[in-house]
Amino acid sequence: MKIVITKSYEEMSEEAFRLVKAVVKENPEAVLGLATGTTPLGLYARMAEDHRRGGTSYRGIRTVNLDEYVGLGPGSDQSYVYFMRKNLFSHLDILPENTHIANGLAPDLAEECARYNRLLETMQQDIQVLGIGSNGHIAFNEPGTPFGSETHVVALAESTIRDNARLFAREEDVPRKALTMGLKNIMHARRVLILANGAGKAKAVCGLVRGAVTEQLPASVLQLHPDCTLVVDEAAASLL
Ligand code: PGA
């Protein structure tokens, strides 16, 4: 694993942007695997700014997102489909039909997982952007998720519900279930870029880099990926 430690969140975002832009420039039809959460916001702001001022085009780019809450759709400002439109896609010239995210409103969730897996088989991520949960999850693959997992419905861990409650009016409003790419789908990416900032992530980052490869810390599977880059600020790197 390649590790880049930056002084600040801004520098972490800049470094992530440099890596993602290189993929887009090298292949204008690249598949970007994207993440939600607060961590990649600085990266997305830079992509938007670079498109606006620098003219980098996303017309041929395709995207797949990691996860979505069950029960939320484009009409909810807490859904991840809404988040992606608001924070990235509406600022780019990307075609909406080229952006993919599991449908949290699907009437048959098992069929939706199967559909998303079939789609991912045809869309290998040229780069997969990831954040990390304070419990070491990646996407919504909570501790204990098998490394061989594909897209599935997950019951969110109590710690994840607490972490995400800050984004909802009340903790009770945080959905208890989500659809998530599995660890196998993430490991299928040609390249992985995992970002972390802040002291709250230090323990998980330490486990990711130095810990045993164990399903108890899902991110540790990335130690087995042939092309994984971790970009962390000093606070998140403080236990390394
Ligand atoms: P965050 O979430 O970017 O909001 O910290 C990361 C995650 O839970 O994967």
Residues 4-19 have pLDDT tens digits of 999 999 999 999 999 9
* Residue 138 placed within a domain: yes
CATH of the domain at 104: 3.40.50.1360
Candidates 51, 137, 152, 225; catalytic one = 137
Q: What's the gap in Å between 131 CA and the centre of ligand 1?
A: 5
Section 28-45 average pLDDT? 98
Q: Whose CA is nearest to atom 8 of ligand 1?
A: 133
Residue 38 to residue 236: CA distance in whole angstroms? 14
**Residue 99 β-bridge partners:** 63
pLDDT of 25: 97
User: What is the domain extent for residue 161?
Assistant: 2-197
Catalytic residue at 137? Answer: yes
37 lines ligand 1 (CB under 6 A): yes
Among candidate residues 45, 42, 209, 190, the one with its CA nearest the CA of residue 120? 190
> H/E element holding 224?
none
* Residue 165 placed within a domain: yes
Candidates 15, 67, 68, 126; catalytic one = 67
* Residue 214 placed within a domain: no
Tens-place pLDDT, residues 70-98: 999 999 999 999 999 999 999 999 999 99
Structural domain count, the chain: 1
Residue 141 to residue 155: CA distance in whole angstroms? 10
Section 103-107 average pLDDT? 98
Section 104-119 average pLDDT? 98
Burial zone of 228 (CB within 10 Å; 0-12 exposed, 13-18 middle, 19+ buried): buried
Q: What's the gap in Å between 38 CA and the centre of ligand 1?
A: 6
* Residue 133 placed within a domain: yes
Catalytic residue at 188? Answer: no
> H/E element holding 100?
strand 99-100
